Each structure stands twice: as structure tokens, then as C-alpha cells.
Structure 1
Amino acid sequence: MTQRIAILGAGVMGETLLSAILASGHPVDQVVISEKRADRAAELRAAHGVDVADNAEAVAGADIVLLVVKPQDVPALLDEIAGSVSPAATVVSLAAGIRTDTMRAALPDGVAVVRAMPNTPALVGEGMFGVSPGPGVTDQQLAAVVSLLESGGRVAVVDESLQDAVTAVSGSGPAYVFYLAEAMIAGGVAQGLDLDTARTLAAQTLVGAAKLLSESPDTAEELRRRVTSPNGTTHAAITTFDDRGVKDGLVAGVVAAAARSAELSGPA
């Protein structure tokens, strides 16, 4: 049976998930998104043909509720929907740092809760979602959430204790890739390439390398070795990176991101 989906939050990520869910073939009459601004609601109806409602109306009768708002807005949102959400519903938070016990405390008994960390490549259908079910979530409920989020990319199910690591690797990870791209483009321009050509070379190289890493059974280390001939051009670059502490700096950055994620989540 087709499940009714409520998306609370019509920002960039909310609309991205809406588009992905509809593109996956989910019936439009079984999806509702919340938006208080009349002009934005009209945009959503025109663009997607979807029902737009306020938060309490949206969750009434919904099987899966996606919370796609800023972390600081989640507590008030949970209070707002607590009286309308079905006890049989699954509520999924995509807001960074919102623990499942926070959701469970605010919602009626029986409501299943799931914590998810998305990332921005979901905008192009290549997102990565780290998903953690709360206590009591059934295999069927978890599978429904995973299937729904897979419309926007790939999903990894992890214990909630690992969500800070997920945040550090994939949640913040696109920024690391863009940071690398900035450096590659700047290096190309310094060697005489025009900006557009340098950007194209860097972007396609990153796309191709990511696809190769995703589809190859080999480790990232092995794939790097295959490109790094002794005393060749790549060897010169990698040696320089090592001399400058690039790899150590990136690892330290991931550790720092995980620590900050834990701070923002508050005490367990």
C-alpha cells in the first residue's frame, strides 16, 4: 500500500526531497509539504502539483513525516505536531544534531523516530544519507524510510552513536571536495589555463574519480597507487602534499568536525 508522506519544511532540502520522491514514482496525491508563506505555497503547487498545508494538517494521516527544518526550529515543530501525528507514524529528522531521544520525548508514545543526516549532493540526486533508527523502530518501518531517502541518493544505516562521524565524513564532506576543487582550479589557472577550462577539468576529474571509487572493489589507497608512477608527475604532487601535511590536515579536520557535531548535539 502506498504510504502518505508529509514533508515539513519547504526550503532547498525540503523541495529537493519532494522532487526526488515524486520522480521516483510516488503518487503526488500521497505527498504533502508544509509552508506558511502563501507565495511560496503557490510556487510549490505550481511546480509540483502537490498539496501544501500547515504543519499540523500535513502530519494528520501521514505514515512518514520528514522534518526538514533548521535544528533550532525542531523543538517547537515537535510541540506543534505532537497532537496531530498518528501513533503509527514514523517521524524522521534530517536536522543536524537532533537525537532520537529528543524526538521520542516530545511525541506521543508509539511514534517511531529516525535520525538522518543528509548532504547537499541530494540536490542532483547523488546525496548520502546516514540513517539511525530509534528504539523500537521495526525492520519494516526502517526499510520504508531507507527506500524513501534512496530516491535522493544512497543510504547507510548506522548506530546513532556514529552520527557525529557520519556528519564529519559525508554531511560536511562536500565542502572538503569543493575545497580540493578550489585548489585544483587555482593550480590550473596558475599554470596558464583559463578559469572555465580549469573548472571543467577539475569538476570532471572529481566526478570520474568518485565514480571509480564507488564502483571499484579496490581501496582508495590502491586506486591512488595505480595512478602514482615512481618519479612521475603524480608522485611529485603526492610527495608535495605529504611534505605539506595535507593528508594529516584533512584527517584532523574530519576529527574536528565530528567533535563539533557532538558539541552541537548536546549531552547524550
Structure 2
Amino acid sequence: MKKQTILFIGAGRMAESIISGLVKSPNIEDIYVSNHRNREKLMNLENKYGIRPSFSWSSDAEKADMILLAMPPEAHPEFLKELKPVLTGQFVVTIAAGIGPSFLEEHLGQDVPAAWIMPNTASEIGESMSLVAYGQAALEHHKLMLKDVLDAIGESEVCTEEQVHQLTAITGSAPAFLYAFAESLIEQAETYGISHEHAVKLVSQMMAGSSAMLKLKKAPKELREQVTTPGGATAEGINVLVQGGYSRLIKEAVIATNRKALGKWQENQ
């Protein structure tokens, strides 16, 4: 498969996270980035990653195999009106919350190859868990093209559009839940007289090691039981979490996240 050229429309944090992974891929020819609101950001990205700043995205679109929309959901409808007459067969991919391939097809045409990916910020270190849904016109070579992108930033899972809507709260938003958990542990560790830096080291390594155990395909229940001696100290801590509705709160947080995302999506229709 030939090396591909990608045009990013938008240069926010997630776009930069993806770019930082892509520049390491041997399958990428060129990366163009357009960000009309902040030319200084483009210069910084050029210095940092060697990307090509795009000051006329419509002209650079003809060079691209893939156009990756890294803009807010609410900016899509107006931009897609401008994009439609410029397209000459490019694969259009969005990373915006709530903007699935059906939305792209509705605005660009059913014959336009389209996809929706939802990575997370761990793409910055090549450890994202990305969700992807394809439109009707996406062919095998488009999927291979996008797989190159997703492999450069971590792992991915192909889902239906509805599943991406539902699961983004778990793969995209739940890292924030995890970091909030870490913050609480760090704060408590500091009350025992250690420095903030020491507390961060203890908690981050504990979480990294625990995540590594999960990645060995061991069941969370099995791992929890290994740590939890019946009637022991850990069991006492688990009891506090259970009595506080820990599992219920996590599930409610996911549901609330999805509800909010759905509301934003409906606003953009």
C-alpha cells in the first residue's frame, strides 16, 4: 500500500496527540495541518513534528488521501458545505463527538467514503483505545488506510455507529474518571507526610502495574479477589466503596456522559 497524505482540519489537543503518533509511522508520506484561527500553532507544530502548515486547506485537499476533521462538533455542518464541492474521492474522517459517518454522508453524499473515530488522549504516547465506525462507501483500502493511522496511536476496535455513541464514555471519557480516582489517592497519600512528587510516583506506578495485569487478559474480578483476603484490610476498604454505591456511581457517570453527548449531537442536527 502506498504511503498516504493526510490533511488535518483543526490543530487542537487531540489532533496534536494523533499527529505525534503518526509522525513515527513509516506509512505516512505527508501531514498537512490547517488551523486558520491560529497560525502560530501551525508554526509550532511544524517545528515540533515536521508537518506542513496549510494556509489554504481547499488547495491542499487535492493532495490528500484522507481528510481528518479535528474540529468541534458544532463547526461541522458549515464546514461540510464548503468541503463538499472540493472533494475528489478523498476519505473523510472525523474525530468529533457525536458526528458519525451517517452525518457525514448526509452532508457530503452517500458515495463519499467516510468514517468516525473516537481516540483518547493516550494517542499521544501510542496507547489510545480508539473506536471506529465506517460509512457505506468505505472500501477495504480505506479501512486499511485508517488502520495505519489507528495502529500508529494505539489499538482500535471497529463498532457500529450506535456503539461508538455509547462506548465513547468508556474509552474516551472514563480516563478522566480514572485520573480523578488517582487525584484522591494522591491527596490521601500526602496526608501521611510524603511529598506530592512521591505520592504521584506511588499512585501512578500502582495504576500502571494494575493496568498491565488487566492487559494480560486476566478478569478484573479474579484480580480483585487476589488482592482481597476475606475479612482482611482490603476487604474493609472494598466494603466502604460498596456501601457508598461505587459500582452504581461509575455506571451512572457513563450514562450521564452519554446523555450529555447525545444532547450535543441532537443540537447539531
TM-score normalised by length of structure 2: 0.91
Per-residue CA shift, 1:116-166, capped at 9, x if unaligned?
Answer: 112112222211211001123223312221221221111111111112222
Per-residue CA shift, 1:196-245, capped at 9, x if unaligned?
Answer: 2211111111111112111x232111111111112222212111111111
Matches within 5 A, 1:237-252: 237-252=237-252
More deviation in 58-67 or 100-109?
100-109
Give the Cα separation in 2 of the matches to 1:257 and 1:180.
17
> Does 2:50 correspond to 1:60?
no
Give the Cα separation in 2 of the matches to 1:61 and 1:92.
16
Give the Cα separation in 1 of the matches to 2:141 and 2:47.
34
TM-score normalised by length of structure 1: 0.91
> What is the match of residue 134 of structure 1?
135
> Does 2:154 correspond to 1:153?
yes
Aligned residue pairs total: 265
SS at match of 1:213: helix
Give the Cα separation in 1 of the matches to 2:61 and 2:142.
17
- The aligned amino acid for 1:35 is N
CA drift at 1:43: 2.3
> What is the match of residue 15 of structure 1?
16
> What is the match of residue 225 of structure 2?
225
Give the Cα separation in 2 of the matches to 1:117 and 1:176.
17
> What is the match of residue 200 of structure 2?
199
Matches within 5 A, 1:251-266: 251-266=251-266
Give the Cα separation in 2 of the matches to 1:27 and 1:168.
30
> What is the match of residue 82 of structure 1?
84
Mapped contact 2:112–2:137 kept (Cα < 8 A): no
Measured on the aligned residues, the alpha-carbon RMSD in Å equals: 1.9
CA drift at 1:108: 4.6
> Does 2:172 correspond to 1:171?
yes
CA drift at 1:62: 1.4
> Does 2:74 correspond to 1:72?
yes
More deviation in 32-41 or 161-170?
32-41
Mapped contact 2:73–2:98 kept (Cα < 8 A): yes
SS at match of 2:7: strand
Cα distance change, pair 109–136 in 1 and its aligned pair in 2 (3 A): closer
Counting aligned pairs with the same residue, the percent is 26
Mapped contact 2:80–2:107 kept (Cα < 8 A): yes
**Please, which runs of 5 or more residues in structure 1 have no aligned partner?**
none
Give the Cα separation in 2 of the matches to 1:231 and 1:101.
53
**Structure 1 segments of 4+ aligned residues over 3 angstroms from their partners:** none
